[in-house]
Amino acid sequence: MDVFGSFALLLAFVCAVYAFVGGIAAIVTRHPLLVKSTRQAGMATCCLIFFATFSLEYLFFTDNFSIAYVVSHSNRDLSSFYKIAALWSGMEGSLLFWSFLLAIYVLSVLVTYRNKNGELMPYVGVVMAGVQIFFLTLNNFVESPFKALAVPAADGVMNFVARADGNGLNPLLQYPEMVIHPPNLYSGYTGFTIPFAFALGALLARYPGEKWIHLTRKWTMIAWMFQSLGIMLGAHWAYAVLGWGGYWGWDPVENASLLPWLTGTAFLHSVMMQEKRGMMKVWNVWLVFCTFLLCILGTFLTRSGVVSSVHAFARSQTSSWFVGFMGVILLVCFGAYLKNRDYLKSENQLDSVISRESSFLFNNLLFVVACVAVLSGTLFPVFSEWFTGDRISVGAPYFNRVNIPIGLLILFLTGVGPLLAWRKTSTESLKRNFGWPLAIGIASGTIAFGFGFREYFSLVCLILCAFVATTILLEFYRGSKVIRARSGASFAASAIDLTMRNTRRYGGYVVHMGMVFVFIGLAGAAFNRNVQKDMQVGQTMQIGPYTMVMQGMDTKPERNYTGQRMLVEVLRDNKPLMMLYPEKRHFETTEETGTMVAIYSTLKEDLYVVYAGTSPDTQLPVLHAYLNPLVKWIWFGGVTVVFGTLVALLPNRRSVLVLAGAPQPATQPLPHAVPSSAALREGHD
């Protein structure tokens, strides 16, 4: 099966090269048969990558310990669930997995548009094949996952050997979320290849701007959704497994996943400027280019450990490949831009500071500044070493100081932007749209202040959350009211009807609402508390309203590890509430230990309990408890964001009411005429 897999990969490489070279020839000659054959070569590449990936999985499932990669990442006792995850637990497998996910996207694009957009698709196909060639080069010639296990014999000659059992999977990865987190994040990373291919293809082909923007909208949103979900799952995994009480540590790998998300989010907003007003064309093209570059950079940072490692830059061969590839992309993008920049001329100018355009402009500015700040902070050790010779890193205070104000400003724009009119907004409409939200925001701030809320940023965040949530709810309320007045349906049904008529707009509001929930959760972090104590049986520890009583220890042997648990009884206001079992797992095959956090989660706060090891002084188990307010809102917000994106991906249902009512306007006079409603106005999304 390893031979089959590596041949499939090699053949995939050949097909991709053909799709690339043949594609260029097809663009030059415009020969229809050549166009067709390169497209089919592209499809064949994808299928071959699928074969290779499945054969690597097969090797895992059949416990084939003659393959180096299987030996390093699996063992016989590993459950099948984690054998799937073992595929992407190392460098070689992750890169193959990248190719695999990219192949799914590429195949979908090639099949979806096989008979459409004839002028553009050959260009798109060439760009996609180019990206595939890079990853297939790594898969085949640099980091092959199918290498047989070989050890040097006494005479120095390498001998192939098969082991009886493997080294096992890293305990940190033996957690259900670790099985779904990387596929999501990688689907985000790879997914941005598609908008990139369309943007670059359209620029090269001088294809009309609105058209490629329209074509890529769906693909960008899918990639963005996976990226968001991947970041969320990563944060949740860090929270539930690493046991340090937080979910985001501004770690280089976390930052790497955030960077393309920031530019991708900026792009999702700024495309509307191009669609509605024909503005920001250059900006949009470069946002897509940068997003894709940041995806490659993210993959590179995740895999190479360039930043987190304390050693000098770029030791491994793979690093040089990645840096080279990013250089090539940048050159190609720049060349294409210089050659065809006249085609990206803006059709309109900014009219007013208080307008939709300017809110988008500032939204984009903030996202990009956040991205630059996070990027420079992440790469600071690398650059400081280049320029000064000293390797200097920056930590959480740097990232927080810059990104908290940016986050709050963006949150503010989330509320304001969608309600400003294009071109220029009148004072009257400002009053109508923002009167209530402002009042409710300020009222909730005052109440919180009255209750002794003194964390400045959290207070601002709370006011803004109330403000933004009110603007969104008002939008739904106003729109639903109009529909309800005419259809007589319930408010809920009207709201659903309203959403289905303009999924993009109302799905977008749902996403915004999700972000409000996330911000509520983030604001809670200012009030985190934690205590730690060596616990004898019967001893208690207090945090907030909770009392923890140490009841004892137990040991439970499992198939792949032995778990040692603290039995902790939790009382709330001195009434028994529940038992928590923070655990340490000892993995026999690897001599490694993993931590399992026990969490009691409510909307108000999380009680987060860790068995933190044995105290050096007393030899007693140490219990570390954290009280983290509002954390659950973050996960809830993440789910809402994904749900909103799915809604926005649905096709619009045409407004049935208007169509049905239109032929007989005289017999059914409508007291609330549709056009007067801001909510149903066309082109308002």
**Subset of 530-569 contacting other proteins (CB under 8 A):** 532
The span from the CA of 375 to the CA of 372, in Å, is 5
Q: Smallest distance from the beta carbon of 352 to other proteins, in angstroms?
A: 7
Q: Does 520 bind other proteins (CB under 8 A)?
A: no
Compare residues 154 and 310 and give the one whose CB is closer to other proteins: 310
Q: Does 518 bind other proteins (CB under 8 A)?
A: no
Compare residues 20 and 422 and give the one whose CB is closer to other proteins: 422
Q: Does 282 bind other proteins (CB under 8 A)?
A: no
Per-residue interface string for the shown chain with other proteins, residues 447-486, x marking contact by CB under 8 A: ----------------------------------------
Compare residues 335 and 395 and give the one whose CB is closer to other proteins: 395
Q: Residue 245 to residues 61, 195, 292, 577: CA-CA distances in angstroms?
A: 35, 37, 32, 21
Dihedral-angle region of residue 493 (phi above 0 means left; psi in -120 to 50 means alpha; beta otherwise): alpha
Residue 207, φ and ψ in degrees, nearest 5: -85, 145
DSSP state of 295: H
Q: Smallest distance from the beta carbon of 595 to other proteins, in angstroms?
A: 7
The span from the CA of 476 to the CA of 647, in Å, is 15
Q: Which of 11, 35, 86, 91 binds other proteins (CB under 8 A)?
A: 91
- The sign of the torsion formed by the CA atoms of 123, 264, 85, 138 equals positive
Q: Which of 5, 22, 23, 90 binds other proteins (CB under 8 A)?
A: 90
- The sign of the torsion formed by the CA atoms of 339, 343, 348, 350 equals negative
Q: Does 42 bind other proteins (CB under 8 A)?
A: no
Q: Which of 166, 182, 260, 514 binds other proteins (CB under 8 A)?
A: 182
Q: What residues from 284 to 303 belong to the interface with other proteins (CB under 8 A)?
A: 301-303
Nearest to 75 by CA among 151, 147, 169: 169
Angle 513-455-530 (CA atoms, 0-180°, nearest 5)?
A: 95
Beta bridge partners, 586, equal 562, 593
Per-residue interface string for the shown chain with other proteins, residues 486-505, x marking contact by CB under 8 A: --------------------
Is the distance from CB of 64 to CB of 25 less than 8 angstroms?
no
The label of the residue with tokens 């999700």 reads: 514
Is the distance from CB of 570 to CB of 548 less than 8 angstroms?
yes
Compare residues 623 and 679 and give the one whose CB is closer to other proteins: 623
The span from the CA of 453 to the CA of 307, in Å, is 38
Compare residues 309 and 426 and give the one whose CB is closer to other proteins: 309
Number of residues that bind other proteins (CB under 8 A): 88
Q: Which of 40, 108, 316, 358 binds other proteins (CB under 8 A)?
A: 358
Residue 571, φ and ψ in degrees, nearest 5: -115, 140
- SS (HEC) of 558-587: CCCCEEEEEEEEEEECCEEEEEECCEEEEE
Residue 464: both structure tokens together: 């803004």
Q: What residues from 570 to 599 belong to the interface with other proteins (CB under 8 A)?
A: 584, 590-595
Beta bridge partners, 548, equal 541, 570
Is the distance from CB of 243 to CB of 595 less than 8 angstroms?
yes
Compare residues 446 and 618 and give the one whose CB is closer to other proteins: 618
Polymer length in residues for the chain? 685
- SS (HEC) of 234-271: HHHHHHHHHCCCCCCCCCHHHHHHHHHHHHHHHHHHHH
Q: Smallest distance from the beta carbon of 43 to other proteins, in angstroms?
A: 28
- Which part of the chain contacts other proteins (CB under 8 A), choosing from 155-163, 308-316, 476-484, 633-641? 308-316
Q: Does 74 bind other proteins (CB under 8 A)?
A: no
Q: What residues from 611 to 650 belong to the interface with other proteins (CB under 8 A)?
A: 612-617, 622, 624
- Which part of the chain contacts other proteins (CB under 8 A), choosing from 83-91, 207-215, 477-485, 547-555? 83-91
Q: Smallest distance from the beta carbon of 381 to other proteins, in angstroms?
A: 7
Residue 619, φ and ψ in degrees, nearest 5: 60, 20
Residue 538: both structure tokens together: 């019967």
Q: Smallest distance from the beta carbon of 100 to other proteins, in angstroms?
A: 13
Compare residues 412 and 506 and give the one whose CB is closer to other proteins: 412
Q: Which of 365, 447, 485, 639 binds other proteins (CB under 8 A)?
A: 365
- SS (HEC) of 416-435: HHHHCCCCCCCHHHHHHHHH
Q: Smallest distance from the beta carbon of 350 to other proteins, in angstroms?
A: 6
Compare residues 507 and 594 and give the one whose CB is closer to other proteins: 594
The span from the CA of 534 to the CA of 529, in Å, is 18
Compare residues 39 and 624 and give the one whose CB is closer to other proteins: 624
The label of the residue with tokens 């603290």 reads: 566
- Which part of the chain contacts other proteins (CB under 8 A), choosing from 110-118, 154-162, 169-177, 323-331? 169-177
Per-residue interface string for the shown chain with other proteins, residues 394-413, x marking contact by CB under 8 A: xxxxxxxxx-xxx--x----
Strands 605-614 and 621-629: antiparallel
Q: Smallest distance from the beta carbon of 175 to other proteins, in angstroms?
A: 10
Compare residues 208 and 613 and give the one whose CB is closer to other proteins: 613
Compare residues 231 and 474 and give the one whose CB is closer to other proteins: 231
Q: Does 152 bind other proteins (CB under 8 A)?
A: no
Q: Does 147 bind other proteins (CB under 8 A)?
A: no
Q: Does 25 bind other proteins (CB under 8 A)?
A: no
- Which part of the chain contacts other proteins (CB under 8 A), choosing from 148-156, 366-374, 416-424, 672-680? 366-374
The span from the CA of 348 to the CA of 407, in Å, is 29
The span from the CA of 355 to the CA of 426, in Å, is 9
- Which part of the chain contacts other proteins (CB under 8 A), choosing from 28-36, 130-138, 387-395, 467-475? 387-395
Per-residue interface string for the shown chain with other proteins, residues 407-446, x marking contact by CB under 8 A: --x-------------------------------------
Q: Does 323 bind other proteins (CB under 8 A)?
A: no
The span from the CA of 80 to the CA of 84, in Å, is 7
- Which part of the chain contacts other proteins (CB under 8 A), choosing from 171-179, 190-198, 213-221, 260-268? 171-179
Where do the H-state alpha helices sit in 502-554?
Answer: 503-524
Question: How many other CB atoms are found less than 10 A from the CB of residue 315?
Answer: 13
Q: Residue 96 to residues 91, 140, 198, 291, 344: CA-CA distances in angstroms?
A: 9, 9, 24, 21, 36
Q: Does 135 bind other proteins (CB under 8 A)?
A: no
Residue 311: both structure tokens together: 């050693």
Q: What residues from 203 to 262 belong to the interface with other proteins (CB under 8 A)?
A: 230, 234, 237-238, 242-254, 257
Q: Does 176 bind other proteins (CB under 8 A)?
A: no
